[in-house]
Copies of this chain bind each other. A is one copy, B any other.
Amino acid sequence: MSEQNLPTQRARRQLLAGSASALAAAGLASFTRSAQAQMASAPAANLPPVPKPFPPYVSWKDTNAMILHSSTTIETKRASQGMGLITPAEHLYVRNNLPAPAASILDDREAWAISIEGVKNPRSLSLRELKTVGLESLPMVLQCSGNGRGFFPSKPSGTPWTVGAAGCVVWTGVPVRQVVELLGGALPGMPFMTSTGGEVLPAGIDPKSVMVERSVSAQAMGEALLAWELNGQPIPLAHGGPLRLIVPGYQGVNQIKYIKRLAFTAQESDAKIMSHGYRISPPGTPSDPTQPSVQEMSVKSWINSPLPERPGTAGPVQIQGLAFAGAHAIKRVEVSVDGGKHWRDARFIGPELGKYAWRQFALAVILPPGTHQLVSRATDTAGHVQPEQRLENVHGYNNNSWADHAVTVTLS
């Protein structure tokens, strides 16, 4: 839908014509960082910038709505999130730990098989068989645990996502608990549900050092799905088709793509991505299995209109944004137009799609000409309040700081 992106392209052109330091001086530091990421993905001297060709497995993405960080890390632009209850697949971020398998695994989707282990009657089930066992549809925020890393002043290694490594999408599949019941139930003494992705591993290195295998609490089985549809269509390769584990409320790394094994286990996986990857390491410390693992998401919100690149004019303004949490629904969102000194309750827009989906909010305000710092702060039904400050950590995970997500707009 390239016809729709002309305003964005225009804003980008204007930005590329200015200097980063001038924007920083004007208080637009966070926007500057995002702009630099965009510039890095476009030929420097050409105006308007031509988006890099996207790799074949994501060639169907709406390139105008996305920031191509690398061939396996692609972010949705903040201005492209709009007021969509559901993120179109074409706009959904991509973050793959390994290159996707060959597209030929989609030639016969229903033949894809998964081994279910740690149950009374372990066996392999094809997708064809899974489809006869049960059916559920679940709207859920899918978010990379590094979403917001771009706001860390420590500049952790890894993709500098701002807000666009998240989307709210609908997964359809069979509840894991129904599959487990069919196979006689999980064995006792197995506190973990450990899942393994079907990526092809590079030869010549220890598989444990690269394989995608993650453990979550076995209790997460209660609402987990083995999913074959994303937004009502077969899951694209980039998003884990033909079969993906969905653990609602958990960060993206736990939603295992191309899942080929699901096991109830006595121990967490000893794959490196579990033992040392995705750990909340205090500043200055190496990763370590005793540190907290990236699991459930935390309460979070951000504003996506107005934005510095699309400020609008002084007078009546509808401030708009998105809010979600991990295991709990959103109960309240407050908005401040003075950087967090004073707050007013926003109202929710549109229907609630269940506790794992995000909610749109809006607040009608009158803004005079000048510069305004707009912030939102969400509270979930368990009483968790989005904090002002991020929890500092080496790898830049779980950033839900409201201060980091502020936007500064200048209205005339």
Contact = CB atoms under 8 A, between A and B. Distances in A.
Interface stretch (A155-163, A277-285, A293-301, A314-322): A314-322
A136 B4 contact: no
Given A1-B60, A351-B354, A131 B318 contact: yes
Give the interface SS of chain A, mostly helix, strand, loop or mixed. mixed
A132 B318 contact: yes
Contacts of A362: 135
Interface of A: 1-4, 6-7, 60, 80-91, 103, 106-107, 109, 131-139, 170, 172, 229, 231-234, 236-237, 241, 315-318, 320, 349-354, 357, 360, 362, 364
A247 to B, nearest CB: 17
A132 B365 CA distance: 9
A133 B236 CA distance: 39
A226 to B, nearest CB: 14
Contacts of A318: 131-132, 134-135
Contacts of A2: 60
Contact of A4 (B3, B81, B134, B236): B236
A103 to B, nearest CB: 6
Nearest to A138: B350
Given A87-B232, A132-B318, 6 more contacts: A3-B106, A83-B229, A131-B318, A134-B318, A135-B364, A351-B354
A139 B320 contact: no
B1 A137 contact: no
